[in-house]
Every structure is written in structure tokens, then in C-alpha cells.
Amino acid sequence: MAQVLEFKLPDLGEGLTEAEIVRWLVEVGDVVAVDQPIVEVETAKAMVEVPCPYGGVVTARFGAEGTELPVGAPLITVAVGAPASDGSAHVPDAPVTHGTSAAVDGQGSGNVLVGYGTSEAPARRRRVRPDRPAPTTVPLATPASRSANGEVRTAGAADATAGAADGPVAVISPLVRRLARENGIDLRELTGSGPDGLILRADVEYALRAAAVPGRTTTAVSEPHTRVAPRPTVTTAPTGPSAGTRIPLKGVRGAVADKLSRSRREIPEATCWVDADATELMRARTAMNAAGGPKISLLALLARICTAALARYPELNSTVDQEAREIVRLDHVHLGFAAQTERGLVVPVVRDAHARDTEGIGAEFARLTEAARTGTLTPGDLTGGTFTLNNYGVFGVDGSTPIINHPEAAMLGVGRIVPKPWVHEGELAVRQVVQLSLTFDHRVCDGGTAGGFLRYVADCVEQPAVLLRTL
């Protein structure tokens, strides 16, 4: 006899205690394989596809799309066992086995997310958005289906509401679903302008504009589209001293706010900076790329300089254990780099950057940047950094005093590279000049160490041969 196993929302990474269901990838009654992705969830750090550690038949799903579940809350139940003799999926009348740590008859992998365990966490009350119906469960012995609003219902329930509106909605992108959800747009009422009627972001944006004009419908989407920014969910405060627009501090913005606030509370930071002549570095990059092979980015060259500088000044590749009152010097350099995305600021991490050459660092930068752009970074890609490289020059600014990415001890900032008058070999010349700044935790080192690190980086920028002499 088959056994019904309950799979709970697993631990998705450091400090993440809940996730929002963006899109279900399986229906009740579907047969799933071990480690097959079953649901796409969004955390405060990334969009993640959660695989199921069991192989069998899905008997129930918990939570509609848009529902936020805490870690340890039930996600689905799976009937593990052989199918019926006629080839159809058989849902047994069996008790549910709770937990995710044990596999049954070899059907469970035990691997929910790479790098994260499947240990149970205490279940907490699920928080459902006010505009979403509360999720319901079904008897495990009864085949179930999903209604248009995301509820789980039994196959024997009245299907008076079934119809064309219950059909699948032609939407692939979770970002499109989120934009429609946040602005109260029913995707079933839209006609997609993409291939085979696929609903695109431009269709939702056009529907938002059409809804603002009396007498216009939201189904005609054949007109040219102009992108508009998604409107955040806001509430209006009462009139008086506290009047104004309130924007919920949650999701990525909330996670960033919490981390930066903690950094400012705990870390006594200081900043030093220096201007450097980057002309020779730019020439070196041009020569490297002219030789063929993968293109080397300026950020990759700066990252390689950083890893060499950290080898000389390991104090800056450390963290502070406040409870033990100890400075922990780290053996590996996991280099984070700040990236601005549609979801907000993220800091992907190049692991073991000290063991990579410039080309290898550049390739990893490219992979992580593309994942950040598409919203597919995993929690593992965003955690565990030991030092951060922040290229704020892309915003057209020369300098900055950034907040350290807690619990790291330092961050190197790079401004824009622009032609400026510069004394070169005793004569005034126009050179490519960049401002470098180092923000550091004054607990791990004094100004002499920080200044030495920054001066070494500037020397490598001005004379790349300095780096070759120290390798």
C-alpha cells in the first residue's frame, strides 16, 4: 500500500523565515519524480524553484498563489507507491506521514535545495494576503483539483463555477503575475499579444493605463505598448501630522533595510579614499581583449586586484564575533559585488575568488549578473560573502561612503572613470582618473592597514605590472 507523505516548506537560506508562492508547477493528481520542481516561491532574496524530495502522486497543495508561508508549513502531500494496475494514478486511503527528513522505500532524495537541509522547523501561522482566499486542504483519499482563485477543492464538489475562466492563463513570467496581482488585474480577462496568446508585461501595463480611462476595456492589447513602472501597494495615512503615502517596507526592500540598519548599529565604520590614474589599466584591458578569447571586464580586473590586496592585508577579509569578542580571519575570499535589479539591490557572491584567475572571475560575474537580471539567483548565490566590491561609477558618480555589507569587515567602492587633468611624468596631461574608496570596520584594523590596502589597489590600477610582480 502506498504511503502519503507531507512535504513542508524547507529552509531557504540564512535569515529567511517565509516565502511567497508565485506559481505552482504541478496540479493535484500529477505524478512527480524525485527532485522535480513543484512550486516557484519568492523570498526576500531571490526567486527559487523548490524541488520535491519524494516521487509519487500529488494529493493536495497548501496555499494559493500569492500566499506567504513560513518555513516548516505544509506545502504539498505526495502518495508514494506503485500506481494502480490500470495505469492510472492511485491515491490511497492512507495516513499522512509528517516531516521531510525521512525517505520511504527509497522514494525520497532528502535534497530539497542544494546546500540546504530538509530539517523541520516549527510550523507557524500562515499569513495570507487580505485580497486572497485562505487556502484549504482536501481529504487525502479524494482526488482534488484547483479552482481559478487558487483554492484546493475535492473532485466531487460542485463545479458550477467551472468554465472558460477556469482554463490555464497564458503567462510564463512570475514577474508578470506579480505585477498583475499587485495592481488588481485579473489575468483571465486579458488577451495576450505574445506568441500563441502569451500575456506579456506590456499587456498588463496597457491594461493598467486602460483601466485609468473611463469607458476603455482591458482586453484590447493590440496597440503599441509603453512601459510604466509597477505601482507599489500603498495606503494613505490619516490627515494631520502623519499624513502622506505609506509604502510597506517588506520583501527585498525590507531585507535590505534590516541588514543596513544592523550594520550601522554594530559596525564602527570609517572611510578613506584616493584618486588613481586608471589609464594604464584601461590600456591593459584593451590589449588583453585584443588577444582573443573571452572578453575581460574592468570589474573582473578590479576583483583580481582585490583578491591580491586581501592576500597582503588579510585583516580586511574577516568578521567580528561579538559574543566571543573575537576577530575571525577567514581563509577563503568569497567576493560579493553590488548589483541593482528591478527587484532592488542584490549582492551576488563569487565563491573562492582568491583561487580564480581574471578570466574565471569574469565568467562568474557574467553568470551571476544574468541570474540577477532574470531573478533566478538562489539564496546560495546571495549569502556567505567576505568582502564586497561596489562599482557605483555605473550611476555616473565619482565617490561614495557605502554601508558595509554585514557581517563583512570592508567594502571597496569604485567611481566613474573620466578624463581629468593629471600630472604624468612631470607634465600636465589628460588621463583617465577614478576615485577609489574603502569603507572598513575599525574594530578589525586601524587606519594604517586600511590605507595600505587602498594604496596597493591604487598602485595596481596605475601600474598593472605591480600586480604581476606580487603574484
pLDDT tens, residue by residue, 198-212: 787 778 878 887 776
Q: What is the pLDDT of residue 175?
A: 59
CA distance 343 to 417: 27
- 3-state SS class at 263: helix
- Beta pairing partners, 265: none
- pTM of the predicted structure, to 2 decimals: 0.56
Work out the pLDDT band at 220, boundaries 50, 70, 90. Answer: very low
Q: What are phi and psi of 301, to 5 degrees?
A: -65, -45
Name every residue whose Cβ is closer than 8 Å to that of residue 41 and which is 6 or more positions away in sequence.
9, 12, 19, 20, 21, 22, 47, 48, 50, 69
State the chain's mean pLDDT as an integer: 76
CA distance 32 to 54: 8
The CATH number of 252-470 is 3.30.559.10
Please compute the mean of the pLDDT values over residues 16-28 and round it to a whole number.
85
**Residue with cell string 475535492:** 154
Residue, of 287 and 379, whose pLDDT is higher: 287
Checking if the pLDDT of 153 tops 70, the result is: no
Least confident of 60-74, 87-101, 182-196, 403-417: 87-101
Q: Say which of 98, 332, 424, 442 is annotated catalytic.
A: 442
Checking if the pLDDT of 452 tops 50, the result is: yes
Distances (CA, A) of 454 to 270, 310, 354, 429, 449: 13, 10, 18, 24, 9
Checking if the pLDDT of 362 tops 90, the result is: yes
Examine domains 1-166 and 252-470 and report if their fold is the same: no
Query: Under a CB-based contact definition with an 8 Å cutoff, are residues 24 and 61 in contact?
Result: yes
Q: What is the pLDDT of residue 372?
A: 86
Grid coordinates belonging to 348: 551576488
Distances (CA, A) of 173 to 132, 176, 177, 240, 460: 20, 5, 7, 41, 44
- Beta pairing partners, 413: 390, 437
Checking if the pLDDT of 45 tops 80, the result is: no
For residue range 61-86, what is the model confidence (pLDDT) as tens digits? 998 888 888 888 999 999 987 554 44
The H or E element spanning position 344 is strand 344-346
Q: Is 442 a catalytic residue?
A: yes
Hey, where are the domains in the chain? 1-166, 168-248, 252-470
Domain 1-166 class?
A: mainly beta
Q: What is the pLDDT of residue 68?
A: 84
